[in-house]
Chain A
């Protein structure tokens, strides 16, 4: 029997992260409706609980109690497999993200990160790209023209923007020299955030993140005016819930990845001064985590803000932007960053 004691912190963290992800995904649906209402000068959901606070719970219960419909023409196994893959893939990515610095509880010091893989960033990309299989399988198994169109659109959109995303990360890696999420965050200590060195890379990355999450202005896979509901046209009950939930979790995770890679993760200005002042690493860690979640929530809000600001792209515009603008721009960014690293950091270069 294997000794499981060293894994107890990570087990607790896994459970906490799972609960937190669910809670945030639930309340993102609520926030989405409230933000939309705010931007359109409406009130939004306000019936259940103070200010509609318990609306997401009602929605969750509704998902459970609705009839599940599996169309006769569909492949039953694949029809169920599609949303399951989307959901599992969405839940798997949070493992490598450092949610905070080290915390000491009951004499045990452990990092607020479930596991620190030395290829953490690659792991995230690998798992995220599995998510598109869920959409593809679901759309294909529905055996509905609209679902299939949505699924094809989704997969070719996601794979097109994955190249731009990968290339924008390469420029970042030239600076960090590491794929470990923890190391990337630690290099951005204090206010030394990567966004100051990689503004173009960040712009490409956030554009691609919008496309990967199928969010407006790139929500062609599920655009209601053309495709009914896109790849989830035939889905009902919790299977529909999983597709929508996976989308919101992906939004949360990509906000976390953006904050980690470009906005310093749990680092915040004057953290050394705070540590000197209070002499408590725990306090600094907690404040850092609060800052991290502040950044994440800002990006989630940004996702919603963009949704009500920019109209939907046409499909040829979407493809042109992905292939003919973002890829050359990302390559140019790599070149500029490469030259920059060689010029401004010659001591560490070439030996």
Chain B
């Protein structure tokens, strides 16, 4: 298995192909499609009712909390990757350290559940 720079080259090629395809298609549809603009057609669509107010207003804090918690837990998952790859070499020492790490993390997890950070139905 080689992981020098040449194994990344096909990814660059694929990116050029994908981006080129998307850009070209966007351009072609822009040219080919009809273009009959009217003021009402270009208004935000709200099921046929005249749009009222601005869409960009504050929304539920729950979504923000979820995003913050995601960052914490995703970092945890990132820590687990190298541990899982080297699990067999690390042996019992690896198990013990990970049990302590996950124990600390799970106590935090139970704390946020008890605090109601993940209760969506209230």
Contact = CB atoms under 8 A, between A and B. Distances in A.
B29 A323 contact: no
Contacts of B67: 155-156, 159
For the residues of A in contact with B, the DSSP-based class is helix
A238 B13 contact: no
A322 to B, nearest CB: 9
B43 interface: yes
A151 B26 CA distance: 22
Interface residues of B, number: 68
B70 interface: yes
A318 to B, nearest CB: 8
A115 interface: yes
Contacts of A192: none
B77 A92 contact: no
A341 B70 CA distance: 29
A242 B22 contact: yes
A64 B95 contact: no
A199 interface: no
Contacts of B18: 18, 87-88, 91-92
Contacts of B102: 331
Interface in A56-104: 63-73, 80, 84, 87-88, 91-92, 94-95
B84 A174 contact: yes
Contacts of B41: 69
A280 interface: no
- The CB with the most chain B CB atoms within 10 A, among A114, A179, A182, A350, is that of A350
Nearest to A143: B55
A84 B26 contact: yes
Contact of A323 (B44, B74, B118): B118
A64 B33 contact: yes
- The CB with the most chain A CB atoms within 10 A, among B39, B44, B113, is that of B44
Nearest to B37: A69
Nearest to A139: B55
Contacts of A333: none
A163 B74 contact: yes
Contact of A327 (B21, B23, B80, B109): B109
Interface in A32-60: none
Given A66-B29, A72-B43, 14 more contacts: A69-B41, A73-B43, A84-B23, A94-B14, A115-B10, A142-B44, A143-B54, A148-B59, A177-B84, A238-B26, A327-B73, A338-B98, A349-B88, A351-B89
17 contacts: A64-B29, A72-B39, A94-B14, A118-B1, A143-B44, A143-B56, A144-B51, A145-B55, A156-B70, A160-B66, A160-B70, A170-B84, A174-B87, A228-B45, A324-B113, A334-B80, A342-B95
Interface of B: 1, 3, 6-11, 13-15, 17-19, 21-23, 25-26, 28-30, 32-36, 39, 41-47, 51, 54-56, 59, 63, 66-67, 70, 73-74, 77, 80-81, 84-92, 95, 98, 102, 106, 109, 113, 118-121
Interface of A: 6-7, 10-11, 14-15, 18, 63-73, 80, 84, 87-88, 91-92, 94-95, 114-118, 122, 142-149, 152, 155-156, 159-160, 162-163, 166-167, 170-171, 173-174, 177-180, 182-183, 228, 233-234, 237-239, 242, 315-316, 319-320, 323-324, 327, 331, 334, 338, 341-342, 345, 348-351
8 closest A-B pairs by CB? A350-B91, A316-B120, A173-B84, A166-B77, A91-B18, A238-B29, A316-B121, A159-B70
